[in-house]
Amino acid sequence: MLWAAPLLFRFLVEENGQDLVEYALVAGCIGLAAIASLKILTNGISNVFSGVGSTLTSAT
């Protein structure tokens, strides 16, 4: 059990891989923001395409 204390201390102090975790968190936040914005903008985008479609149909 004496080996556990130095191992735990080294694990808590070690900074290797910290950058990778930070980049993964940033990428995850960007992904969540993109999904949230798409859910919000879905109706607006649908209305625009419906308007374009009806304009094209009435023009022909």
- Summarised one tens digit per residue, pLDDT across range 33-46 is 999 999 889 999 99
Q: What range does the domain containing 48 cover?
A: 4-59
- Size (the chain), residues: 60
Check whether 56 has a pLDDT greater than 70: yes
Query: 20 vs 26, which has greater pLDDT?
Result: 26
Q: How many independent structural domains does the chain possess?
A: 1
For the record, the structure tokens of 44 come out as: 């607006």
Q: Which residue has the tokens 């290797």?
A: 16
Model-level pTM?
Answer: 0.53
